[in-house]
């Protein structure tokens, strides 16, 4: 098992649609183990999609349990939202969108189907935070980031701030050489 590097915006890989998993083999099991190590290694991570660690397949996982509670990791392969209703606005952040949080409108309740890591069909009916996380992670598999759900103005302001930060980091690292 290993902690994987999480890709960050503006990496174009995050914008690609992931392909369905057709065979749950040892490579997929290892990826799931690595993703679990990665999510538990990050201080604020509660959800992770496989393309965030550079793998273009359709796997997500999440654990919304409190840090002082036992782990309750949910792994879904080829997840698909089959129903959503209600509306909730919640502040979201993302391991791939550094230093930014914003209010996002999502369905309050969702029904998601997929398969577990053993290949068994699974249907989840979730609401509140679990529903939000499921939608957020499935968006990743479709090349959508949470900043795509905010206003164009807020998104542009974030892009400018990030560009300045990246330029500053690049200049700082080149001065150290």
List active site positions: 137
Q: Residue 118 phi/psi, 5° resolution? A: -95, 0
Beta partners for residue 158, in sequence order: none
Q: Which two tokens stand for residue 139?
A: 């968006």
Residue with token string 């909730």:
88
Residue with token string 């397949």:
57
Beta strand segments in the chain, E: 47-49, 59-62, 74-85, 88-94, 97-106, 109-115, 121-127
Residue with token string 């359709």:
58
The residues near 73 (Cβ < 8 Å, ≥ 6 apart) are 36, 39, 61, 62, 63
- Rounded to whole angstroms, the Cα distance separating 8 from 15 reads 11
- Rounded to whole angstroms, the Cα distance separating 57 from 49 reads 9
């Amino acid at each position: 098992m290993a902690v994987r590097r999480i890709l960050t915006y503006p990496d174009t890989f995050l914008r690609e649609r992931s392909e369905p998993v057709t065979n749950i083999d040892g490579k997929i099991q290892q990826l799931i183990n690595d993703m679990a190590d990665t999510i538990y290694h990050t201080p604020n991570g509660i959800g992770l999609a496989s393309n965030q660690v550079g793998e273009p397949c359709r796997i997500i996982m999440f654990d919304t349990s409190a840090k002082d509670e036992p782990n309750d990791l949910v792994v879904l392969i080829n997840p698909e939202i089959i129903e959503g209703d209600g509306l909730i606005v919640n502040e979201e952040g993302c391991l791939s969108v550094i230093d930014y949080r914003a209010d996002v409108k999502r369905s309050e309740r969702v029904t998601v189907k997929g398969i577990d890591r053993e290949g068994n069909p699974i249907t989840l009916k979730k609401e509140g935070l679990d529903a939000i996380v499921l939608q957020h992670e499935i968006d990743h598999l479709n090349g959508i980031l949470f900043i795509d759900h905010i206003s164009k103005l807020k998104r542009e302001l974030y892009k400018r701030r990030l560009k300045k930060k990246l330029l500053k980091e690049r200049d700082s690292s080149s001065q150290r050489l």
